[in-house]
């Protein structure tokens, strides 16, 4: 008989960037808070995504150990380094854990590894975990956890290419990676050329699963992991799209309007960068 599963979410705190242009209204330039999800059975557990800095990983490893489970697998939802750079550090403590990703995500990880210096070290000098990973493809039928099958959901382009989620049918949990954000400004710099249409389709796929719990890849630590974040992610995209079409509006006015409509969302820097890339 399959074990009852439980899940727990760790959120790595936002980290200050250096050397990047200022954000309007004095908001700090930080990296978004990033989530990791532990899916636990009676004895074993599977972790989805790891954060990226030495400091984050020290906290995450203590947190994983606090559940006293045998970590059998780590699943990486997509290739952005902030969701996997810490995995080698985790494997030093859990050498028997297998690392899984889809073939497309594994190829993305190899590319991201090459750009670690130019894209990450420059903004967070000395803080980025080192080391490469070579994930295995997920077995047919999914990742096994005490008689439960954890299933990959391919979501295509959302905040980047080839994103996925991990679906846990027995508890109706979707660990959504960056296809869903929860009270956090969304990274839209890669949204050109139909990216938003693809993101809306991903949200349709998620809603068709009818999840009870959804863990967003980037979230405000105080927010619950319920399905409401899916519709809020859609609303954010629709609003951003509408404001992109407004004429005679400055980037700063666009920014202020989004801040007014989505008050208290984490990481206004992500919004500002999205506006800079979307509006000439
Ligand atoms: Zn991300």
Q: Is residue 107 part of a domain?
A: yes
Residue with tokens 């990274």: 187
Beta carbons of 72 and 104 less than 8 angstroms apart:
no
Instruction: Give the per-residue SS3 of 165-222.
Output: EEEEHHHCEEECHHHCEECECCCCCCCCCCHHHHHHHHHHHHHHHCCCEEECCEECCC
Q: Is residue 1 part of a domain?
A: no
Beta carbons of 142 and 149 less than 8 angstroms apart:
yes
Q: Is residue 52 part of a domain?
A: yes
- Look at the chain and report how many structural domains it folds into: 1
pLDDT at 129: 96
Distance (Å) from CA 3 to ligand 1 centroid: 31
Distance (Å) from CA 247 to ligand 1 centroid: 30
Q: Is residue 231 part of a domain?
A: yes
Q: Is residue 51 part of a domain?
A: yes
The enclosing domain of 120 has a CATH number of 3.60.15.10
Q: Is residue 133 part of a domain?
A: yes
pTM over 0.95: yes
Domain that holds residue 66: 6-278
pLDDT digits (tens, 9 = 90+) for 103-144: 999 999 999 999 888 889 999 999 999 999 999 999 999 999
Beta carbons of 199 and 240 less than 8 angstroms apart:
no
pLDDT digits (tens, 9 = 90+) for 153-193: 999 999 999 999 999 999 999 999 999 999 999 999 998 77
pLDDT at 117: 83
Distance (Å) from CA 39 to ligand 1 centroid: 20
Q: Is residue 112 part of a domain?
A: yes
Helix (H), strand (E) at residue 59 = helix 54-66
Distance (Å) from CA 70 to ligand 1 centroid: 26
The candidate with the shortest Cα–Cα distance to 201, out of 219, 217, 181, 179, is: 179
Q: Is residue 237 part of a domain?
A: yes
Distance (Å) from CA 217 to ligand 1 centroid: 6
């Amino acid at each position: 008989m399959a074990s009852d599963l439980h899940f727990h979410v760790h959120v790595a705190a936002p980290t200050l960037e250096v050397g990047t242009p200022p954000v309007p209204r004095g908001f700090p330039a930080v990296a978004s808070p990033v989530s990791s999800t532990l899916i636990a059975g009676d004895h074993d557990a599977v972790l989805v995504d790891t954060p990226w800095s030495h400091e984050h990983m020290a906290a995450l490893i203590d947190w994983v150990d606090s559940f006293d489970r045998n970590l059998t697998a780590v699943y990486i939802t997509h290739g952005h380094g902030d969701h996997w750079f810490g995995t080698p550090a985790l494997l030093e403590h859990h050498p028997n854990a297998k690392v899984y990703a889809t073939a497309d995500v594994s190829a993305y990880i190899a590319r991201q590894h090459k750009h670690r210096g130019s894209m990450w070290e420059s903004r967070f000098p000395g803080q980025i975990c080192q080391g490469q990973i070579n994930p295995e493809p997920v077995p047919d039928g999914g990742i096994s956890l005490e008689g439960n099958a954890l299933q990959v959901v391919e979501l295509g382009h959302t905040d980047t290419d080839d994103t996925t989620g991990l679906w846990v049918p027995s508890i109706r949990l979707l660990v959504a990676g960056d296809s869903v954000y929860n009270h956090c400004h969304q990274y839209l710099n890669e949204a050109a050329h139909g990216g938003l249409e693809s993101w809306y389709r991903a949200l349709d796929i998620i809603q068709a699963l009818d999840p009870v719990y959804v863990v967003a890849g980037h979230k405000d630590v105080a927010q619950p992991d319920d399905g409401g974040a899916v519709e809020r992610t859609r609303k954010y995209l629709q609003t951003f799209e509408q404001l992109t079409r407004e004429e005679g509006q400055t980037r700063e006015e666009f920014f202020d309007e989004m801040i007014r409509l989505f008050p208290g969302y984490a990481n206004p820097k992500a919004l500002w960068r999205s506006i800079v890339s979307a509006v000439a």
